[in-house]
Structure 1
Amino acid sequence: MVDPDTLRYTRIPLAHGTGSLPAVGFGTLIPDPLVTKQATKAALEAGFRHLDAAERYRNEAAVGEAMQEVFKAGTVRREDVFVTTKLWNTNHRPERVKPALDASLGRLQLDYIDCYLIHTPFAFRPGDDQDPRDEQGNVIYDSGVTLIDTWRALEQLVDEGRCRSIGLSDIKLETLKEIVAAARIKPAVVQVESHPYLPEWDLLEFCREHGIVVQAFAALGHAMEPRMLEDPVITSIAARVRKTPAQVALAWAVQRGTAFLTTSTKPDRIRENFAVSSLPEDALWEIRHNIRTSVRFNGVVETGVPGFIPRAG
């Protein structure tokens, strides 16, 4: 019997960009380049049509190799894959933005990027060291550039056709409001940590009002304590609908109007994460109203330094 449910193929039109964003996305934050390539190919073969990369991950070349092999095999076309990558904190100065995108395009072996995100709102000291620190180990920030300066440089990239949409990542609502108010080209996408333990309803409502797509990373709680996928609300729904807890959390993400990213190196888990299907309305209500835990797993919004927060467990 063929599953008629089409939730996994949901695409969200971009009000401030070209085309539409596949709601089901694959993140490529994988340390080993060879494993990155294998996982990216497995994701495309499983049906994922959105790949999320970043200069900071140091593996764009492996993502590019995986895409090119699949494109050349004729099983997937470039125009069917939405590719996102991100500008790192050390390249916030306007004169560094275009060279940074060009370098990403070269590593990814692409002529254009579907969406280019500012990885965090924090500017670090410009240079080749992605994690500049002083003698005390503190991050060296760059006070010589503002976020709107960097945004103007991204707008120019859209004008030149180098990227088809632009957006922000790891940003708080207050800062997002400032950019939206000042922007000539509005953000098409905002990527933030979000899951049933951090639903970000206020951010989501603001983005809905302004035609911005919210994309959730750590959509499964990043396997950290407290373990979201062991929450009794989610596990009881999973048993009832005969899906895994992960599939429940991911379906919830799509049905409330957001996109999501998951990352795995295991082909069976990659296929499982793609195979989401719709939850009944009562399940969506339970997740919104019966889950009491509130946790942010990643502290990047406070410092600009990516890192999941260790917790006693």
Structure 2
Amino acid sequence: NVLKKWLNSGKIIREELFIVTKLPNTAMREDLVEDHLKQSLTALQLSYVDLYLVHMPLGLQPGIGPRPRNEDGTFKLDPTTDILAVWKAMEKQVDRSRAKAIGVSNFNINQLERIQKIARIPPVNNQVELHVYLQQKDLQKYCKDNGIIITAYAPLGSP
């Protein structure tokens, strides 16, 4: 509601904002990509986002909470995750004007290469943990060489 009110006030126009949302780990299935973006758009009261990211290159079991865990505390992985099919579904969101651009988060070089081999629309962004203690120089070089912008999270380090 706040975003909608701010835009309606005329103090800022939509084009001056850069809105990013992510496909959650529990939606890493081709048939869930569009539904989750539509949910985000409804919650934000927007018709599109500027960037839609795949949160991680692995999926968690859908339908049992945001971070489903096994009894031993490990994450409950979804063995049916097909990152290439998910990427194709992400591309459709650009085609349908729900996202201006698509990218990834927490992907390594091998995972990026797999996507780039099949991508009609390549990832424009890779959001990764990046700081003085985790510089990921090879990943930085790969992304730079391939036109993928890195967004650093935890730039001051993480516990």
Aligned match for 1:117, one of 33, 45, 53: 53
Deviations 1:108-157 (A, max 9, x none): 11100110000111111121511222233322111112111111110111
**Structure 2 residue 112 is the aligned partner of structure 1 residue 176:** yes
Counterpart-to-counterpart distance in 1, 2:64 and 2:73: 17
Q: Secondary structure at the match of 1:148?
A: helix
Give RMSD over aligned pairs.
1.5
1-structure distance, mates of 2:91, 2:76 = 26
Structure 1 SS opposite 2:99:
coil
In the aligned structure 1, how far is the partner of 2:88 from the partner of 2:133?
34
AA of the residue aligned to 1:90: T
The match for 2:89 is 153
Question: Quick one: percent identity of the two aligned structures?
Answer: 38
Q: Distance in 2 between matches of 1:153 and 1:128?
A: 22
Q: Shift in Å at residue 70 of structure 1?
A: 2.4
- In structure 1, the residue matched to 2:135 is 199
Partner of 2:65: 129
Unaligned 5+ runs, structure 2 = none
1:219 pairs, out of 134, 137, 155, with: 155
**Pairing 1:87–2:23 present:** yes
Give 1:141's match in structure 2, choosing from 70, 77, 80.
Answer: 77
Q: Within 1, Cα distance between the matches of 2:51 and 2:25?
A: 17
Q: d(CA) in 2 for partners of 1:135 and 1:206? A: 38
SS at match of 1:114: strand
| 1:209-249 superposed Cα distances (whole Å, 9 cap, x missing partner) | 1111111111222xxxxxxxxxxxxxxxxxxxxxxxxxxxx
The AA in structure 2 aligned to 1:154 is M
CA distance in 2, matches of 1:134, 1:96: 23
Answer with 1 or 2: which has the greater Rg: 1
Residue 171 of structure 1 and its aligned partner are, at CA, apart by: 1.6
Distance in 1, matches of 2:129 and 2:21, equals 17
TM-score (norm: length of structure 1): 0.49
Q: Cα distance 1:163–1:134, how it changes in 2: closer, same or farther (>3 A)?
A: same
Structure (1 or 2) with the greater helix fraction: 1
Gapped regions of structure 1 (runs ≥ 5):
1-64, 222-296, 298-308
* SS of aligned partner of 2:20: strand
